[in-house]
Structure 1
Amino acid sequence: MEKSILFLPDISGFTEFVEETEVNHSQHVIAELLEILIESNIAGMELAEIEGDALFFYSEESIPSQEILLAQITNMFTAFYSHLDLFRENRICPCNACAKAPDLKLKIIAHCGEVEHIVVNGKRKPFGRKVIEAHRLLKNTVKDDSYALLTKELAQEVDLSFYYFSKVFHFKEGENEYDGKNLEYIYSLIDPLKLNLKPVPTVKTFVPDKSPNLHLQRQMNRSAAKLLSLIMDFSIRPQWVKGVDRFIFDGNEVNRVGTQHLCVINGKNLSFTTIKKAVEPSQLVYGEHTTDASPFKQYYQIYIITPISDIDCKLEVEVYWTMKWSIFGRILEPLVKRKVRGNILESLELLDAI
């Protein structure tokens, strides 16, 4: 029987969350990152299992070359930390989970050996002593949370020096005892600054060049952070936004600057993008922009939340637009303004009642 590679990327850094929103957002963040890691599997390994915050890959009776193995590890770390930069730059939500997301770490454990298989629910999965050893190695004495760890057995199989050194890697030796047996390995701490991280797409802050076409405000009976989480949550939108048939969005993604969703109005899909606008440091802000909403050429709706107490806040809604047709638009605009105002006022009533 030929040896197989066992490859486990594991995300660490989240503590327990109490608030329901933080639990939901932590799950969304982890789901996004796991998808990023799966997409960065350039070595063609099989995904055996998603194990909470970790993935279990393997290649049956196949071990990639040293070059491919190191490229695979580098690619995963680069994709992971590039996505964390995206979280950091485009975050809107102030919850603990979203605030801590950029501090997450990745470790990768890689082992090899002869692997047996079992069938569970019709799916064939790796099984046996080598699989257990690989999972045991997730708990080790490496004093960091961002590292690549390869067993010496795997390093010897790919002819990798125990002291291999490059821009990204600086391997050292280590060992730990598991079930009365010593497992020897080499490991390298991974510094994100030494990776060629992808640049974060520039997202411009909305800077209005005029006063809002509409400005409404209302005191809301909930904390500023809770109100923002309700406004940002597309799954709750149908309960309070008037005039929209339904919302289409990615339920596994945390809403942040650049996030897109569709509003279905009278059977027509309107694409909205999350934006940001500069406000006072004590205020929270959330905004959306579309060019699809007739009769508007541009339409911006901004929610600005000012804390009053732990259980109250002031919500201001600023709406900016330009009309598509210069002459006809000016004639139509007073009617459109009354309609938009009425929908927003009714929506705020429903939002406050949730």
Structure 2
Amino acid sequence: MIQKALYFMPDISGFTNFVNHTEVEHSIHIISELLEILLDIATEDFELVEIEGDALFLFATKIPDYKRLINQTTQMLEKFHEHTKSYETKRICNCGSCRTTTNLELKFLVHYGALNFIKVKHIKKPYGREVITIHRLLKNKIPINEYLLLTENAYNLYHNSLNQTWTKSSETYDLKKLDYFYKNFGYVKETINHKIDLKKNNKDYTSPFLKFKHVFEANIDEVYKYVSELKYRHLWDKEAKRIEFDENKLNRIGTQHNCVLNIGNLNFETISSYDRNQLAYGETTEDLMLTRHFSYLIKLEKETETSTKVITELYAELTTVGSFMKSNFTRMMKKSWENKLNNLQNVCEK
């Protein structure tokens, strides 16, 4: 008896074309996070065959009923859009891929048919006509962006449970006509009532105890890249032996990383501030000696296409001992940050 399977493909679309390395790199991280979210839900019923760019290709031999299929599809859409909306409130980057994350959309393709495998060395995966069928339908002329598509085989499998909300259509590939049915799922995105999930920060960022002003002969986006991307931190913060962070995640408000010093560690959390005329990046920690709380903000203002005003502000709530040593603490921080900013300027201008 021929084994049958339900083939399932969630496919992400909606990114604009990227024009520089930063946008491509950030888009990879964003897509990766979204695919992980979808995979966590999908693997309850389906087995992953492979990740195909912005899509997942999965299959199941234990066929879920129609209600479970719809519930899973809806749940994936909800979690997908909750994440993109949450990302919009927490992002610190203004590149094209980060700005357009909320424009991302998700569609689903489902096919039912024979399950055959091909094995090459230790790799075994579904193979044959049924696999080709679902992949061909990724390119279709459906006039909406978020939908569930059932091939004719999948439609016949579930036809007793379907209602009048399904639309029939067809495509022609290599002179062969493929009939399918689709259902609009665009309403799911509109029902997401996202609550901003940001940690409340009641700290006063209006009266810094130290403030530095520089003009870097570098483009504002280049300066911001070196300031905000943790993988570049070692280039200008020479006090850190290393920076420990998740390289597969984009830095955003609330992201934490560990700064390993010669003596001890500092755990930092990313913060920011909003001004339409500035790009701003900062971090906060409760681990700095002599303070209950320490934060910094680096604010960038565009001077010209090739020059940037850099305003650095340091904030601290001192402990009792720190208050007695305030002048020494201030002198120490002034020297430390003058070195950091000189290094940053050299990196950006070179």
TM-score (norm 2): 0.93
Q: 1:352 to 1:206 in 2, by over 3 A?
A: farther
AA partner of residue 172 (structure 1): T
For 1:119-198, list aligned pairs within 5 A.
119-159=119-159, 161-164=161-164, 170-191=165-186, 192-196=188-192
SS in 2 for 1:308: strand
Judge conservation of contact 1:301–1:320 (CA < 8 Å) in 2: yes
Q: Once the two structures are superposed, what CA deviation does each residue of 1:208-238 show, in whole Å capped at 9, x if it has no partner?
A: 1651011111111112222112111111101
* 1:245 equivalent among 233, 241, 246: 241
Judge conservation of contact 2:18–2:24 (CA < 8 Å) in 1: yes
AA partner of residue 307 (structure 2): D
2:65 paired residue number: 65
Shift, 1:196, TM fit: 4.8
Aligned residues: 345
For 1:202-241, list aligned pairs within 5 A.
202-204=198-200, 208=204, 211-241=207-237
Q: Does 1:333 align with 2:326?
A: yes
* 1:258 equivalent among 254, 259, 263: 254
* 1:278 equivalent among 274, 279, 284: 274
Q: 1:352 to 1:109 in 2, by over 3 A?
A: same
1:167 paired residue number: none
1:115 paired residue number: 115
Q: Does 1:310 align with 2:305?
A: yes
CA RMSD of aligned residues (A): 1.9
Deviates more, 1:339-348 or 1:270-279: 270-279
Task: Flag structure 2 segments of 5+ consecutive residues without an equivalent.
Answer: none
Shift, 1:162, TM fit: 4.8
1:50 paired residue number: 51
Counterparts of 1:108 and 1:40, CA distance in 2: 14
Judge conservation of contact 2:198–2:254 (CA < 8 Å) in 1: no
1:349 paired residue number: 342
Q: 1:307 to 1:205 in 2, by over 3 A?
A: farther
SS in 2 for 1:261: strand
- Among all aligned residue pairs of Structure 1 and Structure 2, give the percentage whose two residues are the same amino acid: 34
Q: 1:353 to 1:209 in 2, by over 3 A?
A: closer
AA partner of residue 45 (structure 2): G
Q: Once the two structures are superposed, what CA deviation does each residue of 1:61-104 show, in whole Å capped at 9, x if it has no partner?
A: 33111111111111111111111101211122111111111111
Judge conservation of contact 1:305–1:315 (CA < 8 Å) in 2: yes
Counterparts of 1:42 and 1:320, CA distance in 2: 46
Q: Once the two structures are superposed, what CA deviation does each residue of 1:178-230 show, in whole Å capped at 9, x if it has no partner?
A: 23322222212222345456634134466516510111111111122221121
Q: Once the two structures are superposed, what CA deviation does each residue of 1:261-294 show, in whole Å capped at 9, x if it has no partner?
A: 1111235332211112233x21111111111222
Shift, 1:333, TM fit: 2.1
TM-score (norm 1): 0.92
2:83 paired residue number: 83
AA partner of residue 85 (structure 1): K
Counterparts of 2:192 and 2:214, CA distance in 1: 47
Task: Flag structure 1 segments of 5+ consecutive residues without an equivalent.
Answer: 165-169
Counterparts of 1:10 and 1:197, CA distance in 2: 23
Shift, 1:113, TM fit: 0.5
Judge conservation of contact 1:82–1:199 (CA < 8 Å) in 2: no
Q: 1:352 to 1:9 in 2, by over 3 A?
A: same
1:13 paired residue number: 14
Counterparts of 1:118 and 1:197, CA distance in 2: 45
Shift, 1:171, TM fit: 2.5
Q: 1:197 to 1:171 in 2, by over 3 A?
A: farther
